[in-house]
Structure 1
Amino acid sequence: MPGQTPEPSAGSHADSVPNPFPVPSSSGNSAGIMLRLVSAGLFVVMSLFVRLASVEAPIGQIVFFRSAFAIPPIVAYLMWRRQFPSALRTRQPVGHLKRNFYGGMAMVLSFVSLAYLPLALATALGFLAPLLAVPAAMLFLRERPGAVAIGAALVGFAGVVLMLVPAFEGPTPDRGTLIGVAAGLAMAFATAAGRVQIKTLTATEAPGTIAFYFALLCALGGLASWPFGWVTPSGLSLACLIGAGISGGLAHITMTEAMARASVSTQAPFDYTAMLWALILDAAIFGLLPSPVSLAGAFVIAASALVVPLSGRFTARSEALRPAR
């Protein structure tokens, strides 16, 4: 979803990396699901703060605040885990730069999308990232996804077409919607590329290390935009800028803790509660609801993204139940 820093794949480690988390058990599933629900809500709150701040602040300034104010919660979390400062050691500095390049582009593009689209539509476009990760994994990681994953990716793009239909209604296209959807699509591509890079990082790096350096490097990148025009934000905009960073950092912490307590496939369905939160906030704060066609497209994207982890889960369960030959 827009502005999201952590990735589910960041929870996997090679044997050479000490695993700070216990193996998820059935007793921990409830806690993991609850934390995932909180994380999904926090990411939507972060997106709301970004959307409100974008009325006054330029994108580079938002990137700085979103990243800089995420660092204190991440550091506090690492200290609580007794992984600070040891988690700051890295074996792949160039890998972090590559991940930051893709992730930084994804963050900027997601903020552009949020500036032009309702929260629900921008959130739905964020769900394209796991679908785009399917062809990216085929090209760069030599993975061979099944027919279900490939079909879900194609159906997800059909959802994007539905979302675009209202933009072409009337005598002239809706320029704002076109810009927002184009930025959201580009964000999903950049996020998918970043996930491939994260997969390589997890061979030696812990999730906290990846998150810390992403926030640090993005903050420096946002700060570099200062000469090109920052504003002196009003009280409300400043609160939104700071709130975006803190809620983003807390969202990462709750997501990481959820991964410690339940498997990714168990949590996956609850990621899509973000759509519900986004619709509620759009209606309550902005008085906005997407058109029925756009809303249908958003749910097609979310359902397609949900099919991939669920199909893998059911396949693994059926193979476990299959009698040995």
Structure 2
Amino acid sequence: MQFGPALRAAAGIAVLSIMDAVIKGMAAHYPTFQVAFLRFACGTLIATGVVTALRPGWPTRATIVANLMRSVAAVVTAVSFFYALGQLPLAETLVLSFLSPMFIALFGLLLLQEKVDGRIVLAIAVGFGGTLIVVLGQTEGAQAARSWSGVAAALLSAVTYAFSLVLLRQRAQRDKFMHIVFFQNIGPALLVSPFAFWFWQPLNLEHLAWFMIMGVLGVIGHILMTTAYAKAEAARLAPLEYTALIWAAAIGYGVFSEVPTWATLGGGALIVGAALLTSRR
């Protein structure tokens, strides 16, 4: 049994999904780069407070270099995904982005020499099938012109996100988890800051609390994900990424009054099955 890491990863995805809902609300008021910067800047403040309290010691040079590389991957993932959203229908972008678990299994095999057994391959396929049912069922009959640059951007975001999670698995076995969480926030904040200030708009102080909530949720989510990937193989946890669609449907219903379709419920059942299948040895 490897229920502990699976539950932590699933909880981390849930927390980060809630954070995404807050980001969606703030994105209606500010440019994407400004929202991204404030999210990571507030996360850095929260992570700094936790590091100060826990006193994990100073990170090594290898820790700094490796986690800064992950920061680059995180920024590329965000920028390419947002570009894809501007070029493609949301459903198509989601389908392409949920290819990431397959790339996670591939990178885990190539970079970490992890074994990918038939059950994990089956779980990935079942989870992706559930994703297809959800997104295609919601857009049945819709027609949209294809943007190949958008397709390329969505695929790039799936690849870089997978690469980032495999790097997380690699470093989580060597580095202290709060070092990883700290660099996961400060690195992207520094990289995004020039673009954020270029597109900066006056900040409503009432919104500052929401950005701080983003920071808290981001740190909690990253702690859960880091401790999960320290204990379980990347390929085994990869299909749990599909559970984000379940949280998206639940949040959409509770916050935005969006009633889930039968496709959402049926696809969600497959996604849950895939998550349970991959969480056990």
Q: Do they fold alike, i.e. is TM over 0.5? A: yes
* Residue aligning to 1:8: none
Is residue 191 of structure 1 aligned with residue 161 of structure 2? yes
Structure 1 residue 191: Cα displacement: 1.9
Structure 1 residue 141: Cα displacement: 3.0
Structure 1 residue 57: Cα displacement: 1.6
Structure 1 residue 113: Cα displacement: 7.9
Structure 1 residue 65: Cα displacement: 1.2
* Residue aligning to 2:17: 44
Normalising by structure 1, we get a TM-score of 0.65
* Residue aligning to 2:49: 76
Equivalent residue for 1:62, pick from 35, 52, 64: 35
Equivalent residue for 1:98, pick from 69, 87, 101: 69
CA distance in 1, matches of 2:243, 2:125: 22
Greater Rg, structure 1 or structure 2? Answer: 1
CA distance in 2, matches of 1:309, 1:110: 28
The code of the aligned residue for 1:189 comes to V
The structure-2 alpha-carbon separation of the partners of 1:117 and 1:226, relative to structure 1 and needing over 3 Å to count, comes to same
CA distance in 1, matches of 2:16, 2:158: 16
Identity of aligned residues (%): 24
**Structure with more helix by fraction:** 2
Is residue 230 of structure 1 aligned with residue 200 of structure 2? yes
Structure 1 residue 276: Cα displacement: 5.4
* Residue aligning to 2:115: 144
Normalising by structure 2, we get a TM-score of 0.73
The structure-2 alpha-carbon separation of the partners of 1:55 and 1:174, relative to structure 1 and needing over 3 Å to count, comes to farther
Answer yes or no: is the 8 Å Cα contact 1:46–1:247 preserved in 2: yes
CA distance in 2, matches of 1:37, 1:43: 10
Pairing 1:1-325 to 2, within 5 Å after superposition = 39=12, 41-83=14-56, 86-108=57-79, 129-162=100-133, 163-167=135-139, 169-170=141-142, 172-173=143-144, 186-202=156-172, 204-235=174-205, 237-253=207-223, 277-310=247-280, 313=281
The structure-2 alpha-carbon separation of the partners of 1:285 and 1:257, relative to structure 1 and needing over 3 Å to count, comes to same
CA distance in 2, matches of 1:241, 1:114: 22
CA distance in 2, matches of 1:39, 1:136: 21
The runs of 5 or more residues in structure 1 that have no matched partner are 1-25, 314-325
CA deviations on 1:179-226 (whole Å, 9 max, x unpaired) are 7x9876654432211122233334642222222112111001221213
* Residue aligning to 1:18: none
The structure-2 alpha-carbon separation of the partners of 1:99 and 1:258, relative to structure 1 and needing over 3 Å to count, comes to closer
Structure 1 residue 280: Cα displacement: 3.3
CA distance in 2, matches of 1:114, 1:285: 21
Answer yes or no: is the 8 Å Cα contact 2:14–2:247 preserved in 1: yes
CA deviations on 1:30-73 (whole Å, 9 max, x unpaired) are xx999878655532321111110111222211211111111222
CA distance in 1, matches of 2:217, 2:45: 11
The runs of 5 or more residues in structure 2 that have no matched partner are none
